[in-house]
Copies of this chain bind each other. A is one copy, B any other.
Amino acid sequence: MRYELYYWSGVQGRGEFVRLALEDAGADYVDVARKRGDNAMMPFLRGKQEGALPFAPPFLKAGRMVIAQTATILAYLGPRLGLVLGGLSAEIYAQQLQATVTDFMAEIHDTHHPVAANLYYEEQRPAARKRTQAFREERLPKFLGYFENVLTRGNGRQALSRHSYVDLSLFQLVSGLDYAFPNAMKRMQSRIPHLRALAERIAERPNIAAYLASPRRIPFNEDGVFRHYPELDPAR
């Protein structure tokens, strides 16, 4: 099956979680908006196409099915790409972990957009400073500590396979946070050894290493979810 991925062409964003799964599995896919422009997504978003109506990109066309929402796309692709093994309980565990990745991404986005998604960062700086302080002190350690605990828990860990789409997503989270909040991540360093080891292991997987070295991997930038604004990541 040739999959069609639809996502904004200029950023990694939420589409990157799907892209990493497709790349890691060596799946046959087209990155439609990068090939034909962002307007190629509009007929779907405006309900002019058959199939489910997406709320927003990313969405995936798989045969006649249209599947939106990152975690739902991965729940569908996971078993088909061999990126979650072990049956129902592993699939369900992966789904709830990916849903938690989604929640975390929304909070990461809101560090620079605490007031409104449709205003510029520059229009909501004071609120962004306050929100990001709370993010650095409370939410970042809470989410990363949670994922670290998942990785060190014997019975939880066994529920996932030795490799899954969740691992790829955790790699992406660590990479994006390293870009956006290098100082805060340095302070977290000693508390997330398993998450660090996982991220290093994923970066070395042949298909992922090839993808990261390719022009298909767009650099992180200040239009995406992970943004580096030095005033939001003080050295101390």
Q: Which residues of B contact A99 (CB under 8 A)?
A: 69, 71-72, 99, 102
Q: Are B96 and A116 in contact (CB under 8 A)?
A: no
Chain A residues 62-78 with CB under 8 Å of chain B are 65, 67-69, 71-72, 75-76
Task: Give chain A's interface residue range (CB within 8 Å of chain B).
Answer: 35 or more
Q: Are B75 and A95 in contact (CB under 8 A)?
A: yes
Q: Give how many copies assemble into the complex.
A: 2
Q: Which residues of B contact A117 (CB under 8 A)?
A: 134, 138-139
Q: Which residue of B lies closest to A124 (CB)?
A: B130
Q: Are B155 and A50 in contact (CB under 8 A)?
A: yes
Task: Find A134's partner among B54, B116, B134 (CB 8 Å cutoff).
Answer: B116
The interface bits of chain A over 143-155 (1 if a CB of B lies within 8 angstroms of the residue's CB, else 0) are 1001001100101
Q: Which residues of B contact A131 (CB under 8 A)?
A: 114-116
The interface bits of chain A over 220-236 (1 if a CB of B lies within 8 angstroms of the residue's CB, else 0) are 00000000000000000
Q: Are B127 and A114 in contact (CB under 8 A)?
A: yes
Nearest-neighbour CB distance to chain B for A128, whole angstroms, equals 10
What is the bound-complex CA distance between A134 and B114, given in angstroms? 11
Q: Are A96 and B52 in contact (CB under 8 A)?
A: yes
Nearest-neighbour CB distance to chain B for A159, whole angstroms, equals 6
Q: Are A149 and B114 in contact (CB under 8 A)?
A: no
Q: Which residues of B contact A114 (CB under 8 A)?
A: 114-115, 127, 131
Q: Which residues of B contact A124 (CB under 8 A)?
A: 130
Q: Which residue of B lies closest to A129 (CB)?
A: B115
Q: Are A95 and B115 in contact (CB under 8 A)?
A: no
Q: Which residues of B contact A155 (CB under 8 A)?
A: 50-51
Q: Are A103 and B100 in contact (CB under 8 A)?
A: no
Q: Which residue of B lies closest to A160 (CB)?
A: B52
Q: Are A69 and B153 in contact (CB under 8 A)?
A: no
Q: Which residues of B contact A72 (CB under 8 A)?
A: 92, 95-96, 99
What is the bound-complex CA distance between A116 and B127, given in angstroms? 10
A82 at the interface (CB under 8 A from B): no
What is the bound-complex CA distance between A93 and B76, given in angstroms? 11
With contact pairs A103-B106, A138-B116 given, residues A93 and B52 touching in the complex (Cβ less than 8 Å): yes
The 3 closest A-B pairs by CB, nearest first: A116-B134, A69-B99, A72-B96
